[in-house]
């Protein structure tokens, strides 16, 4: 794998301060290759293409169409970028170390002077004969979270470098039990060569990865041969003949319509018999009810009806509910609640003050201050 980083900056229009956006795609296709990524922070900043092609892309030139749009003048410009991917088997780098830099974004790391400073610091610690950057990936591409826009926080970037010699003792310090314990407790490990990076690069030593590809056991997956994608030639298509055999659908009709209809009819008959033929009726209910209870219930209904009629017209005769009624226990007739000397047809519900036998006179005071009755 070889890292590819390209800055995209086409000048469209007379002023370089115009807001310009870029659109990139593989020539003849609507999008870029799967291994190539593009990022542009703002319309006033440069766009960056970066990625790591795999071994199957070696020797195949990749043509990227870059279209620039000037949002002020609405001008457009197009440019083709040809990326030639070459094999690195002639210069093998079996020892690979991946660093996570917390205070950098991917476009900042891809700048030649910044990447050169980082490789120089790694070379000073590692002391290899050949050192090269293999892959540069944004932390967002690895599932990282977008940082909050405070205190100039960065997304972070992963940088993988390869060398031809064993890892130095400084890089091996992160594998010691003490530093592994500190990393598990979310504490900074103690690395002797961290001061050589700290001036410009803040490295998260708990996320460093050291890989020796000479000791990695290759895993071969048995994938099926995808083939050419062309169906084999099996001759011409022979459609079925027009003379189709007759088919009897009577059995299907019985299963789909007749049987459910018969079941529904039986259920309907059972329900109709239960609702209509099994009813007791009012007459049968009255025959099984005691006479005292029927008379009691009838008197309650009559009294309720009279009270409702009285609510409409207050000046009516004495209600029938005050007439002689039966005793609720013995069934005997009891006298009315009012005396016999009162006329039952004109007896009001409430007596007025003029009908009271013992009317009480309230004393009143004259204007001179004397009381009189």
Measured in whole angstroms, the distance separating CA 128 from the mean position of its chain's CA atoms is 51
What confidence tens digit (pLDDT) does each residue in 108-121 have? 888 889 999 999 99
pLDDT at 65 over 90: yes
Between 109 and 349, the more confident residue is: 109
Q: What is the mean pLDDT of residues 284-289?
A: 76
pLDDT of residue 56: 80
End-to-end CA distance of the chain: 125
The answer to whether the beta carbons of residues 93 and 134 sit under 8 Å apart is: yes
Nearest Cα residue to 349 out of 312, 308, 307: 307
Can you give the residue ranges of every domain in the chain? Answer: 7-85, 95-215
- Model confidence at 324, pLDDT cuts 50, 70, 90, reads low
Q: What share of the chain is helix, strand, coil (3-state, %, to 5)?
A: 30, 20, 50
Lowest-confidence segment of 23-32, 172-181, 297-306, 363-372 by average pLDDT = 363-372
pLDDT at 340 over 80: no
Distance between CA atoms of residues 256 and 36, nearest Å: 59
β-bridge mates for residue 365, sequence order: 371
Report the mean per-residue pLDDT for the chain. 78
Sheet holding 47-51, edge to edge: 4-8, 47-51, 36-39
What CATH number does the domain located at 7-85 have?
2.60.40
Give the chain's count of helices (H) and strands (E).
9, 14
């Amino acid at each position: 794998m070889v890292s590819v980083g390209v800055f995209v900056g086409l000048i469209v229009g007379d002023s370089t301060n115009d807001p310009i956006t870029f659109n990139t795609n593989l020539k003849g296709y609507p999008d870029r290759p799967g291994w190539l990524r593009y990022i542009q922070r703002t319309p006033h900043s440069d766009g960056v293409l970066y990625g790591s092609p795999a071994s199957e892309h070696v020797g195949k030139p990749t043509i990227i169409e870059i279209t620039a749009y000037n949002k002020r003048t609405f001008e457009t410009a197009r440019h083709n970028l040809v990326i030639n991917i070459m094999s690195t088997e002639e210069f093998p780098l079996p020892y690979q170390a991946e660093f996570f830099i917390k205070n950098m974004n991917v476009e900042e790391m891809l700048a030649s002077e910044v990447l050169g400073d980082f490789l120089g610091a790694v070379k000073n610690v590692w002391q290899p004969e050949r050192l090269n950057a293999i892959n540069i990936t944004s932390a967002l591409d690895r599932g990282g979270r977008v940082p909050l826009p405070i205190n100039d926080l960065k997304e972070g970037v992963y940088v993988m470098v390869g060398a031809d010699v064993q890892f130095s003792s400084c890089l091996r310090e992160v594998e010691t039990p003490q530093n592994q314990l500190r990393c598990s407790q979310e504490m900074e490990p103690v690395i002797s060569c961290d001061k050589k990076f700290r001036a410009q690069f803040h490295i998260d030593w708990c996320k460093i990865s050291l890989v020796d590809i000479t000791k990695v056991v290759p895993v071969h997956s048995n994938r099926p041969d995808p083939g050419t994608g062309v169906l084999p030639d099996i001759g011409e298509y022979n459609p079925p003949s027009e003379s189709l055999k007759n088919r009897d659908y009577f059995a299907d009709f019985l299963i789909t319509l007749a049987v459910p209809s018969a079941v529904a009819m039986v259920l309907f008959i059972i329900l109709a018999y239960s609702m209509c033929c099994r009813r007791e009726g009012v007459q049968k209910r009255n025959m099984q009810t005691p006479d005292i209870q029927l008379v009691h219930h009838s008197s309650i209904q009559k009294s309720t009806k009279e009270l409702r009629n009285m609510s409409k017209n207050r000046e009516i005769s004495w209600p029938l509910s005050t007439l002689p009624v039966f005793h609720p226990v013995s069934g005997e007739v009891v006298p009315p609640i009012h005396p016999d000397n009162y006329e039952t047809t004109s007896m009001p519900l409430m007596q007025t003050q003029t009908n009271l036998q013992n009317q009480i006179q309230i004393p009143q005071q004259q204007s001179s201050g004397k009381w009189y009755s």
